[in-house]
Amino acid sequence: MSQSGQMWGGRFQGRLDPMFAEFQKSLPQDHLLAFADLETNLAWSEALAQAGVFTDEELEQVRDAIDDLAEHWAEHGVPTDDPAEDVHSLVERELGARCGDLAKRIHTGRSRNDQVATDLRLYLRERILGLLEGIQDVCAALVGKAQAHFDAPMPGYTHLQRAQPITIGHHALAHAEPLARDRERLLDAYHRMNQCPLGSGALAGTAVPVDREALAEQLDFAGGPCRNSLDATASRDHLCEILFACAMTMTHLSRLAEDYIFFASQEAGFLRFGDAVSTGSSLMPQKRNPDAMELVRGKAGRVQGALMALLSTVKGLPMAYNRDLQTDKETLLPAMLETEACLHVAAMAVQNAEFDTVRCAAEAGKGYQNATDLADLLVGAGVPFRDAHGIVGRAVNRAVELGVELQNLPAAEQSALLPQLQCDLHRELSVRAVLDRRAATGGTAPARVKAEVERWQHVLTDWATGFEDDDGDDDGACGDEACDDPACDDDGHRHS
């Protein structure tokens, strides 16, 4: 350390103003990178040994110090209120207490710029896996709902107006589909960022003859080393991409939350949340509030705001590193953790939501939701659809005047309004008939929804394959050498 007491203080004699020293600290945020920083230090130390900077004996001392510190932090936690200004200086000081001046020599040929860029990518890989598991949890809960209610009718809405009957299962899978796309976005982001910045130095590359390809392989960066040292230390587009995927995921969770909040209202009365995810009122004893989903909906705005904040931070930065980038972690990391938490809470809320299938079915038959089918029946009788649309509109108006549904129009009214039809409207306009007609791919027919549930069950099994390896062997591998899941390596086995 210099007289200034800082890693960077070689030319400085005085100390920082205490207020500015506290202002510029990043340890409260970047302590999350502590174990990634230890991994980076070990890999760089081994690269230095191969380059002749460390002897084998010195490398072993460094390795022992890193292992000891990792064990200590695993047991006691990483301090967040330490005087160290950032996680890198904390690690260097703690390693120094264990292996002396060797800790200072680890920084040979390296900058905190490429160090933090590497730490962050290592940490993000783990957090992305957590997000993928969270998405899997929500989709599994939705598929479970769809399996239980693949043929249970409920009203479908556009403009929050009842439109056509659907099934509860069809609605559940409608929320699973965008989450599957969010998963793909995260996978894409994972693969694009999976390159190793270590060895890029501050901006111009390292002068130490390290083998960067071997370094990338050791740290499991499948994309090899970053190809340009300026870009490696200065670019944060991979953070923006991950944060966009989080913001989009939260948007989809918020839409799911809004639907379920409305369904749980007394005005709809379609479902009831269990005690595990509901709270009451401190004043009104009768209240059962859908708090879990309301909180998920509320937190979506914070994650969306984080995306805008990060984009605003990076939009005007020149090459290469600028201290503005220190703030990327305090923007990104809480948003990722919040997204992951919201995924698990949303899954819990779906699992603890019980649909009133009797009420849902009854309401699916109200409000002239079968009007389109009546128009289709007229088309089948030879009436052009545009004319049929007008005929049914007049029939709806008359039904409203009489206070009946279309299938319950008196026989005389049917004859006057719909002379082209000789069929049994009670049967042809029943909720079951309306649902069964929509059997094309993507439709809400119970048979189609059941088939989609089966397809989704296979999808969930494929997703889970890369994450299940509880007993430590490789039976959690998917066995597909072409697998693109980050939880599997090139041989189809889980990363350690």
**Which residues carry out catalysis?**
159, 281
Distances (CA, A) of 186 to 346, 455, 463: 19, 22, 13
Burial 409-437 (b: 16+ CB within 10 A, else e): beeebbeebbeebeeebeebbbbbebbbe
- The residues near 192 (Cβ < 8 Å, ≥ 6 apart) are 223, 238, 241
Nearest-angstrom CA–CA distance, 156 and 168:
9
Query: 267, exposed or middle or buried, with CB in 10 Å at 0-12, 13-18, 19+?
Result: exposed
First to last CA, the chain: 35
Nearest-angstrom CA–CA distance, 329 and 35:
15
- Nearest Cα residue to 197 out of 182, 173, 219: 219
Distances (CA, A) of 336 to 253, 276, 328, 358: 14, 24, 12, 40
Amino acid in the structure at residue 220: D
- The residues near 280 (Cβ < 8 Å, ≥ 6 apart) are 287, 288, 289
CB of 249 closer than 8 Å to CB of 135: yes
